[in-house]
Amino acid sequence: MEEGSNKGWIWGIVVLLVVVLGGWWVLGQKTPGASADTIKIGFIGALTGDAADYGEPQKNVLVLAAKDINDHGGIAGKQVEIIYEDAKCKGPDGANAASKLVNVDKVQVILGGSCSGETLAAVPVAEAGKVAIITGSATSPALINKSPYFFRDYPNDSSQGVVLADQAYTKEGWKKVAVIQEQTDYALGIFQAFEARYKQLGGTIVKEEFASNISDFRSVLAKLKADKPDAVLVSVQTAASAQRIFDQMQKLGWKPKLMLNDVTIGDPATLTKFKDFLEGDIGANFNLNDTPKFVALRDAYKAAYGKDMGYPTYSTAVYDSLYLIKEAIEAVGYDGTKIAAWGRSSVKNWEGASGSITIGPDGERQSGDSIFQVKNGTAVLVQ
């Protein structure tokens, strides 16, 4: 190398030193996941970046759950310690976080991730380390039977799409539905399940997609309006996108019948803000009947953090996942393989904050979504 290379090598050595010392330190930390008085549980979620909206309330409810468990004697007499790792909703970060939790912290269970991308990348790492991984908010159908070490206490996307398609075609009699879909794995997953079912029933679909960074929907809406659909399915990743769409529909003077996915109908702020606009519209969500456990969690969250619990459907499922794991460890011990097997065989009508949970032998939550209707700014279960 030419000039400046001496200095360069000094820097190189500094970097190497940092790496070697860091590595030595990491290896020095090789404590097992369960020491004499604590049980370590990993969490992977989106704590920074665009998707931190989901990850943050999930972390918050876990803090509450862990405190509650520890105040009541811990898990099998040991205090529980959750190690929170950020994966930003991205695959490689999910693999990084999982690798750290599995190999450095030596956890036997991971909760998470928040999104399907990071979970898809984390599951093989967990499986290689024989660590159980349970998610309460990654919903991609690609995760179904991905690994015997994976299970979830949140229904996958196909459940939502199917319920909506049945309601639209059979109950409402809508033969032509327009879809406005955000280009994310989650929104696409719902659409694909909806499309398969709805076309099978005999309906026709027109669809427009938009990238997540788009905020002007006027041309998309104008086009869909010209197609004269019986109803419009709004499949979005976040309630913020849905709000922008509703806003521009209002400006366009177009109010078709709407079908909403869980992030929209499950977001109280959106329903309040567009109270009149959404009156009578339907959506799929999973059954939050305001059970005592749900109400207690909602109130505790508000008291602890001074704001409403974000994305209650995901957050409650994540909250429940820690209690499920508590039961698993008490039943079969702190062992990833056994916990995963327990998760796929022993969860039947388990009453949690997210309702009654049954997990099938495929690791999927059985009790799926229901149809809700917006009435006076709140979502009401349609019987």
Partner 1 sequence: MEYLIHIAILVCIYGILGLSLNLVIGEAGLLNVTQAAFYGMGAYGAALLITNYDINFFLALLGGIIISAFGSLLIGLVLSRFRGDFYALGSFGFNVIVWSIMLNWQDVTHGPLGIPGIARPALFGFTFSENLTFLILAAVFLALVYGISTFITKSSFGRVLKALREDEEAISVFGYATSYYKLVTFVISASLAAIAGALFASYITFIDPSSFSLNESIFLLSIVILGGLGSSRGAVMGALFLIVLPEALRFVGFPPDVAAQMRQMVYGLILILLMLYRPQGLMGTFRM
Residue 323 to residue 297: CA distance in whole angstroms? 13
C-alpha radius of gyration, the chain, whole number: 23
| Interface with partner 1 (CB under 8 A), residue from 42, 111, 185, 233 | 185
Helices 312-332 and 336-345 pack at an angle, to 10 degrees, of 120
Sole window of 17-25, 172-180, 216-224, 271-279 interacting with partner 1 (rule: CB under 8 A): 17-25
* Interface with partner 1 in residues 146-165 (CB under 8 A): 146
x/- track of binding to partner 1 for residues 62-91 (CB under 8 A): ----------------------xxx--xxx
3-state secondary structure of 302: helix
* Interface with partner 1 in residues 39-58 (CB under 8 A): 47-48
| Interface with partner 1 (CB under 8 A), residue from 188, 240, 304, 341 | 188
Backbone φ, ψ for residue 58 (5° rounding): -65, -45
| Interface with partner 1 (CB under 8 A), residue from 9, 201, 272, 296 | 9
| Interface with partner 1 (CB under 8 A), residue from 53, 100, 172, 337 | 100
Residue 212 to residue 25: CA distance in whole angstroms? 41
Where do the DSSP E strands lie in the chain?
A: 38-45, 79-86, 109-112, 132-135, 150-152, 176-182, 204-210, 231-235, 257-260, 282-286, 350-352, 355-357, 369-375, 378-381
Task: Report the nearest approach of partner 1 to the CB of residue 301 (Å).
Answer: 15
Confirm or reject binding of residue 8 to partner 1 (CB under 8 A): yes
Residue 181 to residue 200: CA distance in whole angstroms? 20
For partner 1, the closer CB: 116 or 367: 116
Task: Report the nearest approach of partner 1 to the CB of residue 208 (Å).
Answer: 12
x/- track of binding to partner 1 for residues 102-131 (CB under 8 A): xxx------------x--xx--xx--xx--
Strand partners, 40: 81
Are the C-beta atoms of residues 183 and 212 closer than 8 Å to each other?
Answer: yes
HSE, side-chain direction, 13 A CA sphere, residue 191: 23
For partner 1, the closer CB: 15 or 331: 15
Confirm or reject binding of residue 168 to partner 1 (CB under 8 A): no
Query: Which positions touch partner 1 (CB under 8 A)?
Result: 1-5, 8-9, 11-12, 15, 18-19, 22-23, 25-27, 29, 47-48, 84-86, 89-92, 95-96, 99-100, 102-104, 117, 120-121, 124-125, 128-129, 140, 142, 146, 183-185, 187-189, 209, 211
